[in-house]
Amino acid sequence: MPEGNAPFSQTEYDRRIALTRTAMSEAGLDALFVTDPSNQAWLTGYDGWSFYVHQGVLLRMEGEPMWWGRFMDSMGALRTCWMSEANIFGYADSYVQSTVRHPMQELAARLKDMGLESAKIGVEMENYYYSAKAHQVFVTEMPNATFADVTALVNWQRLIKSHEEIAFIRKAARISERVIETAIDRAAPGVRKNDVVADIMHAGITGVDDIWGDYPAIVPLTPSGLDATAAHLTWNGDPMREGEATFFELSGCYRRYHAPLCRTVFLGTPPKEMLDAEAAQIEGIEAALNAARAGNRTRDIAQALVDVLQKHGIYREGRCGYPIGLSYPPDWGERTASLRVEDETILQPGMTFHFMPALWMDTWGLETTETILITDSGPAEALCNVERKLFVKD
Amino acid sequence: MPEGNAPFSQTEYDRRIALTRTAMSEAGLDALFVTDPSNQAWLTGYDGWSFYVHQGVLLRMEGEPMWWGRFMDSMGALRTCWMSEANIFGYADSYVQSTVRHPMQELAARLKDMGLESAKIGVEMENYYYSAKAHQVFVTEMPNATFADVTALVNWQRLIKSHEEIAFIRKAARISERVIETAIDRAAPGVRKNDVVADIMHAGITGVDDIWGDYPAIVPLTPSGLDATAAHLTWNGDPMREGEATFFELSGCYRRYHAPLCRTVFLGTPPKEMLDAEAAQIEGIEAALNAARAGNRTRDIAQALVDVLQKHGIYREGRCGYPIGLSYPPDWGERTASLRVEDETILQPGMTFHFMPALWMDTWGLETTETILITDSGPAEALCNVERKLFVKD
């Protein structure tokens, strides 16, 4: 049997499972069925692009977690998970995208065999890969079980990163610097946007020295001019143009860990209102990082930004950041705490956020962001080292 | 107001909406709420990496479709959809990943305002981006409405491609040839896998001449040796090794349209059993393409492959293909018909499939596949032009 190639020490996985079981116990669960691919990887090491079919990790209060998925992907689980082969389960291919049977029927039958027929089972109701249908089938097939919505139960355990995880995020940050530098370097009038993105991706996957690049959970977001008033447009084959700002929202990725970073490039001479916004944004970032201290709250970071921007006459709605770390598409955020004025989460050392004070204005967008680490004392540490400014190329 | 940049003619969108409304009428629906990003794009042109928050397209039996999503993404909808601004709706950022409110509450309130309080509403229960929670909230907020599971209702309308769509897929196929050639060219002992992938991605996004490359819905799958016994592992930083087979499952993408293609490279001298499997696989592909004729059924393609493989002593389970075209992550399949021996779909001109007779054996994997187009008469057309064989580099 090939041994798993899980990226972390057993001590680290044991830590994660202990944390999760404490939360399970508080929720009164007998078992937890985890569908979020990031949560699966965090608990077991499982890594594969197979989340487009139903799969998950089952954790009970005792014993190893169990990975369950399509049979052909159980081969991948054997290659990537730390558990023994006895805890890897595959279902037949006839369940895949079938109109007459559903994989959750197969899972329910297994759970009954395990004696979980009347168990209290936690599921992640608000997750990309736990469909309305999957839940409906699961509940129907297990009429004696009790289901609890424990969306983000595991995600919350991920909020404070271990030293092993922070080491990975620091590696991702080295790649993030490289990809942002590549974008800034390549941006020029007449250069097709897709050619810039090709170089960005090449730099990101090449990585830095022995830090090889994994795929980020979001593709490069690189809109220019009017397109940059929208937050999430991708690229096309149009040439970049003089007189336009382009923001680059990118992340390096090392073994699924991210360190997102944005910078904006202006080709030509930026208008005064953009330079004014730049100054306000940079002052706001400094104030926010200074507020991002252990013992403060997430809302303090957001309020520090809002106060500075308002002083400069900029009224910004919406959250200005989210926790980051281990992620799979479609999102590199962890979906727990938010950096916004009503969020009450107490900041603790080891938390990592993408602090994201982007400004999307009527006719242009300006994104300058940082991945930050809450430290034992003092302001947050910005993990990437790229000059914090609007890059002007004229 | 900037005009939308939807990639197809209005005639094409009108065709799609008419097809969809016929299916809606058969299902007795008053309204259809579409969450699948591919279906949203197919109906409206919407294109953005924003499917990690709740959004969708509402189609009634009259009038333009409506796009609904996060306010900041409504800017992207204005930039990419063909509809008028009056049919683009954004919800406040306070709904995003909130623990106290849900975007589906906001949608339900809008539907009630539109007089849909007691309507029969179709939803896509089995979809990545329609969570169990979203459905629960939707149903709770609209107690007088009737909900029907119409998973894949729109997907089925996408099965036969228009001439405009086939033109896009042919462009994607040009890119697929380039990326596969890049992979074959770069594979060599000692070369790090991520460096090969960096070049693959660079080639894919650069595209071919004026055919600029979009992001494929699946990242490069490039496992070697034992990892190739698993279907969906991605890459790492290990060097490629003499004596190992590596399969490359890749796709070019042009404006969200795909043409997946796989080839396998062996570094060194392949074992006889692999060469025997190669011969069987190629013979099976020829037989299957010959069976892939208008009027035949999907099962005929699968059976033709199975028969040839069995003649050579290879017993292969699982489906051997699926329809492809417009797609967003995490899957480039359309999730309707399957190429498998029990699937009854009648083949019609304009259907496009990724025919995928991959062999995952105990200690190695061999993938040689084609994107095929069902033609008016005669065997299917393979849309990519790359020699169909195991590539041996020694």
Asked if A233's CB is within 8 angstroms of B335's CB, the reply is no
* Phi–psi pair at B143, nearest 5 degrees: -65, -20
**Residue B150 pLDDT exceeds 60:** yes
Q: How far is A222 from chain B (nearest CA, A)?
A: 11
Question: What is the rounded average pLDDT for all residues in chain A?
Answer: 95
Give the pLDDT band (50/70/90) at residue B239. very high
Question: pLDDT at position B231, please?
Answer: 80
CA distance A170 to B33: 42
Arithmetic mean of pLDDT, A234-254: 96
Contact between residue B348 and residue B380 where contact means Cβ atoms under 8 Å apart: no
Instruction: Mean pLDDT check: name the lowest of A359-363, B27-31, B288-292.
Output: A359-363
CA distance B149 to B123: 5
Say which residue the tokens 């049977």 belong to.
A101
Which chain A residues have a beta carbon less than 8 Å from that of B51?
330
Cα–Cα separations (whole angstroms), residue B343 to A54, A190, B359, B388: 21, 50, 20, 26
Dig out the tokens for A328 from the structure. 């799979």
Contact between residue A329 and residue A392 where contact means Cβ atoms under 8 Å apart: no
Size of interface A-B (CB pairs under 8 A): 216
Asked if B338's CB is within 8 angstroms of A97's CB, the reply is yes
Asked if B212's CB is within 8 angstroms of A192's CB, the reply is yes
Which chain A residues have a beta carbon less than 8 Å from that of B78?
230
Question: Which residue type sits at A95?
Answer: Y
Specify burial of residue B324 (Cβ count, 10 A radius: 0-12, 13-18, 19+).
Answer: buried
Cα–Cα separations (whole angstroms), residue B221 to A1, B187, B228, B322, B327: 23, 14, 9, 17, 17
Q: How far is A96 from chain B (nearest CA, A)?
A: 9
Q: How far is A391 from chain B (nearest CA, A)?
A: 24
Dig out the tokens for A231 from the structure. 């937050």
Dig out the tokens for B85 from the structure. 């601004």
State whether ipTM is beyond 0.90.
yes
Give the pLDDT band (50/70/90) at residue A39. very high
Arithmetic mean of pLDDT, A239-243: 96
Cβ within 8 Å of residue B388, ≥6 positions away: B282, B285, B368, B370, B382
Asked if B132's CB is within 8 angstroms of A131's CB, the reply is yes
Arithmetic mean of pLDDT, B252-265: 98
Q: Residue A196 carries which DSSP code?
A: H
Which chain B residues have a beta carbon less than 8 Å from that of A213?
194, 198
Dig out the tokens for A70 from the structure. 């399509």
CA distance B241 to B224: 8
Contact between residue B284 and residue B353 where contact means Cβ atoms under 8 Å apart: no
- Whole-model pTM: value is 0.96
Give the pLDDT band (50/70/90) at residue A23. very high
CA distance A42 to A52: 18
Closest in A125, A197, A322 to B132, CB measured: A125
Question: pLDDT at position B362, please?
Answer: 81
Cα–Cα separations (whole angstroms), residue A391 to A177, A339, A368: 14, 26, 10
* Phi–psi pair at A247, nearest 5 degrees: -100, 145
Which chain A residues have a beta carbon less than 8 Å from that of B96?
318-319, 338
**Residue B1 pLDDT exceeds 60:** no
**Which candidate, B79, B388, B380, B148, places its Cα nearest to that of A363?**
B79
**Residue A369 pLDDT exceeds 50:** yes
Q: Is A317 on the interface with B (CB under 8 A)?
A: yes
Say which residue the tokens 């003092």 belong to.
A378
Q: Is A130 on the interface with B (CB under 8 A)?
A: yes
Percent of chain A with pLDDT over 90: 91
Contact between residue B294 and residue B347 where contact means Cβ atoms under 8 Å apart: yes
Give the pLDDT band (50/70/90) at residue B262. very high
Q: Is B388 on the interface with A (CB under 8 A)?
A: no
Q: Is A219 on the interface with B (CB under 8 A)?
A: yes
Partners of residue B360 on adjacent β-strands: B365
Question: pLDDT at position B2, please?
Answer: 38
Residue of A nearest to B212 (CA): A237
What confidence tens digit (pLDDT) does each residue in A70-110 have?
Answer: 999 999 999 999 999 999 999 998 898 888 899 999 999 99
Closest in B73, B198, B317 to A206, CB measured: B198
Number of Cβ within a 10 Å radius of residue A159? 18
Q: Is A195 on the interface with B (CB under 8 A)?
A: yes
Asked if B213's CB is within 8 angstroms of A198's CB, the reply is yes
Question: pLDDT at position B4, please?
Answer: 55
Q: Is B301 on the interface with A (CB under 8 A)?
A: no
CA distance A52 to A138: 18
3-state secondary structure chain B: CCCCCCCCCHHHHHHHHHHHHHHHHHCCCCEEEECCHHHHHHHHCCCCCCCCCCCEEEEECCCCCEEEEEHHHHHHHHHHCCCCHHHEEEECHHHCCCCCCCHHHHHHHHHHHCCCCCCEEEECCCCCCCEHHHHHHHHHHCCCCEEEECCCHHHHHCCECCHHHHHHHHHHHHHHHHHHHHHHHHCCCCCEHHHHHHHHHHHHHHCECCECCCCCCCCCECCEHHHHHCCCCCCCCCECCCCCEEEEEEEEEECCEEEEEEEEEEECCCCHHHHHHHHHHHHHHHHHHHHCCCCCEHHHHHHHHHHHHHHCCCCCCCCCEEEECECCCCCCECCCCCCCCCCCCECCCCEEEEECCCEECCCCEECCCEEEECCCCCCCEECCCCCCCCEEEC
CA distance A252 to A272: 32
Is the peptide bond between A330 and the residue preceding it cis, with omega within 30 degrees of 0?
yes
Question: pLDDT at position A228, please?
Answer: 80
Arithmetic mean of pLDDT, A263-287: 96
Give the pLDDT band (50/70/90) at residue B349. very high
> Residue A74 is inside which H or E element, if any?
helix A71-80
Q: Is A198 on the interface with B (CB under 8 A)?
A: yes
Give the pLDDT band (50/70/90) at residue B356. very high
Q: Residue A118 carries which DSSP code?
A: T
**Which candidate, B277, B287, B294, places its Cα nearest to that of B368?**
B277
CA distance A280 to A304: 12
Residue of B nearest to A198 (CA): B202
Q: Positive or negative CA dihedral for A188, A194, A197, A201? A: negative
Question: pLDDT at position A225, please?
Answer: 87
Give the pLDDT band (50/70/90) at residue B3. very low
Residue of A nearest to B342 (CA): A94
Q: How far is A276 from chain B (nearest CA, A)?
A: 22
Q: Is A133 on the interface with B (CB under 8 A)?
A: yes
**Residue B143 pLDDT exceeds 60:** yes
Instruction: Mean pLDDT check: name the lowest of A22-36, A115-129, A352-366, B325-339.
Output: A352-366
**Which candidate, A251, A204, A173, A228, places its Cα nearest to that of A365?**
A228
Residue of A nearest to B130 (CA): A131
Closest in B52, B194, B317 to A212, CB measured: B194
Which of B3, B79, B85, B97 should we substitute to test contact with A (largest number of A Cβ atoms within 10 Å)? B97
- C-alpha angle B5/B15/B149, rounded to 5°? 100
Closest in A75, A92, A198 to B205, CB measured: A198
Give the pLDDT band (50/70/90) at residue B228. confident
Percent of chain B with pLDDT over 90: 91
Q: How far is A236 from chain B (nearest CA, A)?
A: 7
Which of A121, A212, A240, A258 should we substitute to test contact with B (largest number of B Cβ atoms within 10 Å)? A212
Task: Locate the DSSP E strands across chain A.
Answer: 31-34, 56-60, 66-70, 88-91, 120-123, 146-149, 245-254, 257-267, 321-323, 352-355, 359-360, 365-366, 370-373, 381-382, 391-393
Arithmetic mean of pLDDT, B61-90: 96
CA distance B247 to B250: 10
Q: Is A88 on the interface with B (CB under 8 A)?
A: no
Domains of chain A: 10-157 (3.40.350.10), 163-393 (3.90.230.10)
What confidence tens digit (pLDDT) does each residue in B180-200 have?
Answer: 999 999 999 999 999 999 999
Question: Which residue type sits at A383?
Answer: L
What is the phi-psi region of residue A350: left when phi exceeds 0, alpha when psi lies from -120 to 50, beta otherwise?
left
Cα–Cα separations (whole angstroms), residue B93 to A284, B63, B74, B160: 20, 28, 12, 38
Asked if A212's CB is within 8 angstroms of B236's CB, the reply is yes
Give the pLDDT band (50/70/90) at residue B38. very high
What is the phi-psi region of residue A328: left when phi exceeds 0, alpha when psi lies from -120 to 50, beta otherwise?
beta
